[in-house]
Amino acid sequence: DDLTDGHKIANLADLQIADYLDKDDFLARLENGGLGRVEAVFHQGACSTTTEWNGKYMMDVNYAYSKRLLHACLALR
């Protein structure tokens, strides 16, 4: 996740988290093989804000990131 907006941390307050990676750090480590072989991915990342007007942001977060994630996983399966 991207926790740049501090309000988002409230969503994690009651959870037991073993580890955390920023979404960009995660993808960079995945792409360079730093996370090992990929067996499964549960991807729910996207901007779900229905009032977001920044088209570039929406394409980056909802499409380009998912596409990079898919290609990295296919390369590491």
With bands split at pLDDT 50, 70 and 90, how would you rate the model's confidence at 77? confident
- What is the mean predicted confidence (pLDDT) over 9-17? 80
* Rg from Cα positions in the chain: 14
Contact 63, 43 (CB under 8 A): no
pTM for this predicted structure? 0.74
Over the stretch 27-63, which tens digit does the pLDDT of each residue have? 999 999 999 888 888 888 788 888 999 999 999 999 9
- Phi/psi for 27 (5° steps) reads -65, -40
pLDDT higher than threshold 80 for residue 8: no
With bands split at pLDDT 50, 70 and 90, how would you rate the model's confidence at 1? low
**CB-based contacts of 24, cutoff 8 Å, min separation 6:** 2
Tokens of 64: 């380009």
